[in-house]
Amino acid sequence: SLLRLKDLEVAELGDSDVHVKRLAAPINPADINMIQGTYPILSPLPAVGGSEGVGEVLEVGRCVTALKPGDWVIPASAGLGECVPRHPRHRWTPARRPVRCAATLSVNPCTAYRMLADFEALAPGDSVIQNAANSGVGQAVIQIAKASGIKTINVVRDRPDLSKLVERLMALGADHVVTEEMLRKPEMKDVFKSIPKPRLALNCVGGKSTTEMLRHLQPKGTMVTYGGMAKQPVMVPVSAFIFRDVRLRGFWVTQWRKDHAQGE
Ligand SMILES: NC(=O)c1ccc[n+]([C@@H]2O[C@H](COP(=O)([O-])OP(=O)(O)OC[C@H]3O[C@@H](n4cnc5c(N)ncnc54)[C@H](OP(=O)(O)O)[C@@H]3O)[C@@H](O)[C@H]2O)c1
């Protein structure tokens, strides 16, 4: 089979090495795509799966000064199995972060933050619409937008316990939670009585969901695609380009990190 559980010998500690014990690691959709071979990062095999997590430094080589045993570290970049701190800012102490937040900090919240900051100059009172709003990224978008005074319209798939999900997202700071089907209904007008039409749409799904979200985007607004959970192409009516001049962009946090490796 493709995946195997295997015990590995811990390598002997070199002068510049750090031994890190993993405390927690999530499984991201991108980790699965890497295993499927459909992701742009493919490590030489055999490789260890997973790209995020938090670890505790157990031991440091004698040339290592930036870290000490007991420090918490997160991976410097995405890639199969990597947990190698390369920058002093990746140091944390256990007292500062709950383990689950630390383990999931480096991908989804950073993606949410950059997408809110980099594509439209949003001011308090502006609004953003997003699909897959209950995803890891979506929940981070809700919280960061709330802290910045930006209103969110959150699209989720319908389900038997929808009211519980709506309650949970509202508790995080969502302004509106609607289902994919509701996007097509005239009642959507009520949403825009209290908040302006969004200038930014965040697309994690593709297919029909994109088309429906675009209906509500302001003219000259931007839709940023960062995920393709429905495994369907983004569908945009010609009229959205001609009569509303919408802009379609994409975002990949791994590329952003490479592009900003020196500065931010
Ligand atoms: N471009 C980047 O830099 C970047 C960074 C981070 C994440 N991502 C991507 O963003 C996506 C979400 O990642 P995550 O870690 O936030 O995921 P997650 O927490 O596992 O959430 C997955 C989300 O996708 C929805 N979903 C699954 N299948 C769907 C379908 N067929 N149609 C519509 N919605 C569907 C789920 O909704 P239900 O609850 O209804 O199933 C849920 O909201 C992934 O594609 C990931 O690779 C991209």
Query: Ligand 1, atom 25: nearest CA belongs to which residue?
Result: 132
Residue of 44 and 126 predicted with greater confidence: 126
Same domain for 78 and 123, yes or no, is no
In a domain, 264, yes or no: no
Same domain for 218 and 141, yes or no, is yes
In this prediction, residue 97 has a pLDDT band, given cuts at 50, 70 and 90, of confident
End position of a domain, from candidates 79, 98, 117: 98
pLDDT at 226 over 90: yes
End position of a domain, from candidates 36, 71, 98: 98
In this prediction, residue 217 has a pLDDT band, given cuts at 50, 70 and 90, of very high
Q: Is the CB of 229 under 6 A from ligand 1?
A: yes
**Average pLDDT, integer, range 191-210:** 96
**Average pLDDT, integer, range 214-218:** 96
CATH for 46: 3.90.180.10
Same domain for 112 and 94, yes or no, is no
In a domain, 52, yes or no: yes
What is the reported pLDDT for 264? 54
Q: What is the mean pLDDT of the chain?
A: 90
In this prediction, residue 91 has a pLDDT band, given cuts at 50, 70 and 90, of low
Tell whether the torsion through CA atoms of 211, 233, 117 and 96 is positive or negative. Answer: positive
Residue of 13, 17, 23, 39 marked catalytic: 39
In the chain, the number of structural domains is: 2
**Average pLDDT, integer, range 79-104:** 68
- Least confident range from 3-12, 31-40, 58-67, 255-264: namely 255-264
In a domain, 33, yes or no: yes
In a domain, 103, yes or no: no
Same domain for 211 and 183, yes or no, is yes
Residue of 173 and 25 predicted with greater confidence: 173
Q: Is the CB of 119 under 6 A from ligand 1?
A: no
What is the reported pLDDT for 2? 83
Give Rg (Cα) of the chain: 21
CATH for 149: 3.40.50.720
pLDDT at 93 over 80: no
Residue of 176 and 262 predicted with greater confidence: 176
Same domain for 148 and 221, yes or no, is yes
* Catalytic residue list contains 226: no
In a domain, 6, yes or no: no
End position of a domain, from candidates 98, 128, 151: 98
What is the reported pLDDT for 10? 83
Same domain for 75 and 192, yes or no, is no
What is the residue range of 59's domain? 18-98
**Average pLDDT, integer, range 229-253:** 96
Q: How far is the CA of 244 from the centre of ligand 1 (A)?
A: 28
